[in-house]
């Protein structure tokens, strides 16, 4: 069972193919893109141990030769040292202008390898083979690539669309439960920002989906990718609508900064909490019904996910400091804060002019004491 979502971006259009067993068939899937039967793969140690042999067999079957660079796992890989190493390795491997680079892994590998492909010889094509839920529903689609620096996350990068995305939903079976649920935070985000029927469906099917039901996982990935593709088609470089994808993210980025981008709080966990806070803020401002934040939290809790500031282990800084961290986010305009807020489930909008004092009071009320 394979489904295809088209991302229509003119001469940068590509397909996202979603289904079980795609990695084992990768050779046939990418064959049409190749000018010679040879690819360079970037991956991490965890994914390599579980899935690199399958990819190599899938390529060999189609007569494609593969060479691979295996990087250490984790967010800290997404920085200058491993980026330099990757670009130099690709040059040493004699990857040429017409060749293809493959990113096999989660969002860290996709962002790093995509950025390396964007700058290598002024840009070579790349194929995303996302293996985490977060990467399948979010980071592999849309062409944002980049790395972190000492100044902050994702501050250096490029828009570079992949030539093809192969989301093998079968490999989600080896993803640790915590990483799966973190990715699910982004899935919930799509329902909350633009599709109330999808959110209703997640409320009904979410726990079975998390427990491993393949058909439900497939459906959740397909619907998420469709939503992302439609938004990216309308606004590839985030001049407008693409900002809706940042629902929960102004809060999330501040929480990630406050917890040192560590294992204390994964990105998708921060997004889930951030979505609940965005509905809290919307309700406080009288923009949505008062019971909606409770409904969002109830679903996250039913999934066994973190849904409140009090679910974050360890101490957090005070409300003023947290709001200051929100102000350091890219999404700040003239001392007012930009949030994605909602009139209802599935009806998010960009609010550019939020008074930081209101947010400070909200955080103060939510922080555990
Ligand atoms: N480019 C974008 O549009 C975009 C969007 C959202 C997030 N991101 C970026 O994505 C990154 C987070 O992505 P992530 O959550 O995938 O993190 P990740 O790449 O670190 O993967 C999470 C963990 O799961 C492991 N893993 C991946 N697939 C596996 C599998 N099938 N089986 C077992 N283990 C597996 C990885 O080795 C890693 O330890 C962040 O850097 C974030 O900034 C980018
Ligand atoms: Zn995100």
| CB 169 less than 6 A from any atom of ligand 1 | no
CA distance 7 to 29: 17
| CB 54 less than 6 A from any atom of ligand 1 | no
- Asked whether residue 92 carries a pLDDT value surpassing 80, the answer given is yes
- Asked whether residue 151 carries a pLDDT value surpassing 90, the answer given is no
CATH code for the part of the protein at 3-172: 3.40.50.1970
Q: What is the pLDDT of residue 360?
A: 96
CATH for 177-366 (1.20.1090.10, 3.90.1150.10, 2.160.10.10, 2.60.40.1890): 1.20.1090.10
Q: Minimal CA–CA distance to 160: which of 194, 210, 115?
A: 115
CA distance 178 to 184: 10
Instruction: Measure 116 CA to ligand 2 centroid, in angstroms.
Output: 21
Place 331 in a pLDDT band, splitting at 50, 70 and 90: low
Q: What is the pLDDT of residue 10?
A: 95
Equal fold, 3-172 vs 177-366: no
Find the range with the poorest average confidence among 59-63, 178-182, 201-205, 261-265: 261-265
> Taking CA 256 as the corner, what is the angle to CA 250 and CA 262, rounded to the nearest 5 degrees?
165
Q: Which ligand is nearest to the CA of 271?
A: 2
Q: What is the pLDDT of residue 35?
A: 97
Q: Are strands 38-44 and 100-105 parallel, antiparallel or unpaired?
A: parallel
pTM over 0.95: yes
The two tokens of residue 368 are 């555990």
First to last CA, the chain: 50
Domain chopping of the chain, boundaries: 3-172, 177-366
Instruction: Measure 191 CA to ligand 2 centroid, in angstroms.
Output: 14
- DSSP-based three-state secondary structure for 279: helix
Q: What is the pLDDT of residue 185?
A: 98
Compute the mean pLDDT over every residue in the chain, rounded to the nearest whole number: 96
Across the range 183-210, mean pLDDT stands at: 98
Q: Which of 78, 144, 297, 306 is catalytic?
A: 144
* SS (HEC) of 178-216: HHHHHHHHHHHHHHHHHCHHHHHHHHHHHHHHHHCCHHH
361 is catalytic: no
pLDDT in tens, 303-330: 999 999 999 999 999 999 999 998 765 5
Q: Which ligand is nearest to the CA of 247?
A: 2
Across the range 124-131, mean pLDDT stands at: 98
246 is catalytic: yes
The two tokens of residue 192 are 């909350």
Q: What is the pLDDT of residue 368?
A: 81
CA distance 301 to 50: 30
The answer on whether 144 is annotated among ligand-binding residues is yes
6 is catalytic: no
CA distance 340 to 281: 10
Place 239 in a pLDDT band, splitting at 50, 70 and 90: confident
| CB 131 less than 6 A from any atom of ligand 1 | yes
Across the range 189-199, mean pLDDT stands at: 98
- Asked whether residue 64 carries a pLDDT value surpassing 90, the answer given is yes
* Sign of CA pseudo-dihedral 38, 39, 40, 41: negative
| CB 277 less than 6 A from any atom of ligand 1 | no
The pair phi, psi for residue 317, each rounded to 5°, is -65, 165
- Compute the CA torsion angle 87, 90, 91, 93 (nearest 10 deg): 160
């Amino acid at each position: 069972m394979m489904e295809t979502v088209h991302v229509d971006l003119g001469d940068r259009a590509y397909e996202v193919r979603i289904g079980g067993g795609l990695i084992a068939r990768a050779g046939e899937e990418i064959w049409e893109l190749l000018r010679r039967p040879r690819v360079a793969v970037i991956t991490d140690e965890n994914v390599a141990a579980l899935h690199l042999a399958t990819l190599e067999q899938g390529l060999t079957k189609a007569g494609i030769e593969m060479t691979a660079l295996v990087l250490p796992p984790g967010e800290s890989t997404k920085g200058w040292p491993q980026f330099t190493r990757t670009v130099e390795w690709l040059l040493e491997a004699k990857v040429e202008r017409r060749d293809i680079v493959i990113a096999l892994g989660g969002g860290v590998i996709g962002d790093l390898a995509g950025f390396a492909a964007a700058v290598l010889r002024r840009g070579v094509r790349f194929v995303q083979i996302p293996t985490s839920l977060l990467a399948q529903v979010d980071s592999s689609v849309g062409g944002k690539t980049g790395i972190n620096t000492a100044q902050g996350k994702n501050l250096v990068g490029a828009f570079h669309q992949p030539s093809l995305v192969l989301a093998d939903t079968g490999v989600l079976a080896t993803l640790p439960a915590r990483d799966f649920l973190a990715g699910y935070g982004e899935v919930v985000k799509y329902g909350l920002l633009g599709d109330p029927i999808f959110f209703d469906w997640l409320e009904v099917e979410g726990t079975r989906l998390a427990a491993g039901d393949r058909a439900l996982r497939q459906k959740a990935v397909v619907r998420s990718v469709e939503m992302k593709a439609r938004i990216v088609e309308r606004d590839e470089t985030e001049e407008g609508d693409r900002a809706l994808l940042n629902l929960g993210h102004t809060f999330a980025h501040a929480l990630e900064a406050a917890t040192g981008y560590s294992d204390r709080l994964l990105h998708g966990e921060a997004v889930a909490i951030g979505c609940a806070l965005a509905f809290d803020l919307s309700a406080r401002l009288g923009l949505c019904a008062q019971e909606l934040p409770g409904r969002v939290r109830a679903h996250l809790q039913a999934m066994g996910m973190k849904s409140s500031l009090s679910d974050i282990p360890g101490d957090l800084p005070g409300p003023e400091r947290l709001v200051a961290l929100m102000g350091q986010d890219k999404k700040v305009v003239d001392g007012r804060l930009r949030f994605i807020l909602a009139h209802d489930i599935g009806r998010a909008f960009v609010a550019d002019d939020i008074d930081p004092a209101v947010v400070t009071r909200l955080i103060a009320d939510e922080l555990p004491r």
